[in-house]
Amino acid sequence: MANPAILTVDDDPAVSRAVSRDLRRRYGDRYRIVRADSGEAALEALREIKLRGEQVAVLVADYRMPQMNGIQFLEAAMDLFPLARRILLTAYADTEAAIDAINLVDVDHYLLKPWNPPEEKLYPVIDALLDAWIATPDRPVTEIRVVGHRWSAESYAVRDFLARNLVSYRWLLADDPEGRRLLTAAGLTENDVPLVVTPDGKSLVQPSEIDLAPHVGLTTTPASDFYDLVVVGAGPAGLGAAVYGASEGLRTVLIEQRATGGQAGQSSRIENYLGFPDGVSGAQLTERARRQALKFGTELLSAREAVALEAGGSTRVLRFDDGTSIAAHTVVLATGVSYRMLRAPGLEGFTGRGVFYGSASTEAPSCLDQDVYIVGGANSAGQAAVYFSRYAARVHILIRGDSLERSMSSYLIKQIAAHPTIQVHPYTEICQAEGDEHLERLTLRDTRTNQIRTAETTWCFIFIGAEPRTAWLDSVVERDRHGFVLTGPDLLSGGQRPAGWALPRDPYHLESSMPGVFAAGDVRSESVKRVASAVGEGAMAVSLIHRYLEAQ
């Protein structure tokens, strides 16, 4: 982090050089002396300093400057650095204006020109102001800053992307003072959010994930155009395949559209995963797996969306949404599933503004002492209910069945039953959502009696089953009627191999209808929807890939 700045501005070159020289002589070892020749140039320098998250200790401005005088400059500078100490340089004839500046715009001191000798007339003033500034300085900022609106779906998407990729950031509301100062520094208004400011001062306005990723330490460009193994999807199955593939010598690249971990990475606590008797969060588990994959040499590409898969002889080509592609001997499809959308009037319009699909952990602190509604009865819903109960006044679980026992693990059912602030509502569904800027109320219906009631709430988290993300594989590999990828024995209809299968053997257990393309985890038809089984299938796929490659 650069030293705090002392900025001087004077349109007279001789005076500008003199004040900078004197300041550098005494303070240059501890402070960065920044010189400008006009008010606008000085403001531009302050904007850059603000965006870089650096500090300004003292501002020294000449009173008589064209276009923007010293008082006007200091007043504008206060919007960016309100804690910086302010000095006005004046001639004897301007002392009355200087005194007015002290009273009207909070100038800390005025100095008459010339100030020789500086040891008597300049340094004591600067020393006193620096002492005062050190007592209450602007803190330097080293993390990414995100400026946005509380109920902006676009702002939520940026925060969620950063959080799920374990990128530290500071969240600032656009109408808060510091948020406004950053928008001003970037030359933007509240209508331009979300704004992302990187530690080096780069401003990203309404960035897409692919635009944002390189600026937060994520890799988006492959280092090679050919690999032994391409793994599509960085959930538990994909991470398992990447770890075992890379550790066994395969040139492996792992492709992820959003964030490592998939749905498992959003789980607040997994308590039935082997080897973690005290439980582990999904983020912790998948971060360990990510580091393990990287240690063995896996290349991880983030924010890349696969849109096509093609066969070219023994080569498998994966195409991305930007028109680029990579090729490999083999592919593991581990794209997992996404939560099914709940179709009720009004819900879609509040997505990201009170209605969330999956456990949006970034929102949990904002739920403090409020009622939270969770829709769904599987483990993911139960884990979210327990997690949000740490913050919410009350957590309501809405299920259409009679109990949780059909779809949730018993350890979670026991935790929920023992928790005084979690209430399960059987035979209940949402039939409407209402609000203005964000979700404000839900209309609930009892499916047995058709009785309607209204629930005032700002928070609804939905976990109502999963759909495979396989539309891009249409006509490429065979899928079941729900879209899950068929593999191994499931491809043999009446003992017949799939259409177009040219090899003299049956498909391997996890192999799809395209030779050399395997499926693992939730995306595979009839798979066990558990983290442990997904990891196991990822490892098993690599074993079968070795058999495939040896036979080529």
* HEC assignment per residue over 151-191: CCHHHHHHHHHHHHCCCCEEEEECCCHHHHHHHHHCCCCHH
- What span, in angstroms and rounded, lies between the C-alpha atoms of 54 and 141? 7
Return the CA Rg of the chain: 30
**Contact indicator for 300, 315 with CB cutoff of 8 Å:** no
Q: How far is CA 107 from the centre of its chain?
A: 40
Q: What is the pLDDT at residue 365? A: 85
Residue ranges in the chain whose pLDDT is less than 70: 1, 92-95, 97-98, 100-105
Structure token digits, residue 263: 């749905």
- DSSP secondary-structure letter at 525? T
User: Which tokens sit at 440?
Assistant: 């404000």
Let me know: does 72 contact 38? Beta carbons within 8 Å: no
Q: Cα angle at 321 between 319 and 325, to 5 degrees?
A: 25
Q: Label the pairing between strands 439-446 and 452-456.
A: antiparallel
Per-position DSSP letters for 436-474, written without gaps between them: SSSEEEEEEEETTT--EEEEE-SEEEE---EEE--GGGT
DSSP conformational letter for 94: G
Q: Cβ distance 82 to 59 under 8 Å?
A: no
Q: How many CB atoms lie within 10 A of CB 302?
A: 24
Task: Please name the residues in contact with 246: beta carbons below 8 A apart, sequence gap of 6 or more.
Answer: 252, 293, 296, 297, 298
Structure token digits, residue 41 = 């140039």
Omega of the bond leading into 365 within 30 degrees of 0 (cis):
no
Of the CA atoms within 13 Å of residue 461, those in its CB half-sphere come to 28
The neighbouring-strand residues paired with 109 are: 87
Residues in the chain: 552
pLDDT in tens, 193-239: 999 999 889 999 999 999 999 999 999 999 999 999 999 999 999 99
Torsion of CA 241, 247, 251, 255, to 10 degrees: 40
In this predicted structure, what is the pLDDT of residue 101? 67
Q: Enter the tokens of residue 552.
A: 């080529």
Q: pLDDT at position 102, please?
A: 67
- Count other Cβ atoms within 10 Å, centred on residue 294: 15
In 70-135 the beta strands, taken as DSSP E runs, fall at: 85-90, 109-112
Exposure of 334 in the CB half-sphere (CA atoms within 13 A)? 39
Structure tokens that stand for 44 in this block? 């531009």
Specify the DSSP element, H or E, that contains 147. strand 144-148
pTM over 0.85: no
Domains present along the chain, CATH in parentheses: 5-135 (3.40.50.2300), 144-216 (3.40.30.10), 226-338+467-551 (3.50.50.60), 348-464 (3.50.50.60)
Q: How many CB atoms lie within 10 A of CB 446?
A: 14
Contacts of 224 (CB under 8 A, 6+ apart): 251, 253, 299, 326
3-state helix, strand, coil in the chain (%, to 5): 35, 25, 40
Which amino acid belongs to residue 485?
V
Among 278, 269, 464, which residue's Cα sits nearest to residue 355? Answer: 464
Residue type, 127: D
Q: Specify the pLDDT at position 104.
A: 64
Degrees, nearest 5: CA angle 289-293-295 = 115
Q: What angle do CA 383, 461, 370 make, to 5 degrees?
A: 90
